[in-house]
Structure 1
Amino acid sequence: MKIHADRDRCIGAGLCALNAPTIFDQDDDGMVVLLDSSPTLDNSSDARRLAEDICPSKAIRITDG
């Protein structure tokens, strides 16, 4: 699994950093910062849920590999 965070689409809602702080953070402007683009299996369910459900701007995307 590979996580992509599109900072141009990000609106700074912060739901990603709040719900998966080992994978996402926010910079000083509130925009998404990807901490782990290839999370372990322990973190992968959090990442998939965020990408599919939580991000209001759909700035987070997951691809295979």
Structure 2
Amino acid sequence: MKIVVDRAKCEGLGMCEAMAHEFFEVQDDGTMVVLDENPGEEHRTELAAAVDACPVLALSLKD
């Protein structure tokens, strides 16, 4: 599984970080960093919740 970020859409709102802080971090300048782009399958539920929480639809998961 891979976390995909559409950088053109991402506004650094931090909903992803709130849902899955071990995978996402919003920097002081508002940019979001993916801490682990290829997480294990055991994290799918948590990451799907983070993807769904993104108000600008900037995140997706690819298998």
Unaligned runs of 5+ in 2: none
Deviation at 1:31, TM superposition (A): 2.2
For normalisation by structure 1, the TM-score amounts to 0.81
**Are positions 1:45 and 2:42 aligned together?**
no
One-letter amino acid of the structure 1 residue matched with residue 55 of structure 2: P
**Equivalent in the alignment of 1:61:** 60
Cα RMSD, aligned residues only: 1.3
**Is contact 2:9-2:57 (8 Å) kept?**
yes
**Are positions 1:35 and 2:40 aligned together?**
no
Instruction: Count residues with an aligned counterpart.
Output: 63
Unaligned runs of 5+ in 1: none
Percent of aligned positions that are identical: 37
For normalisation by structure 2, the TM-score amounts to 0.83
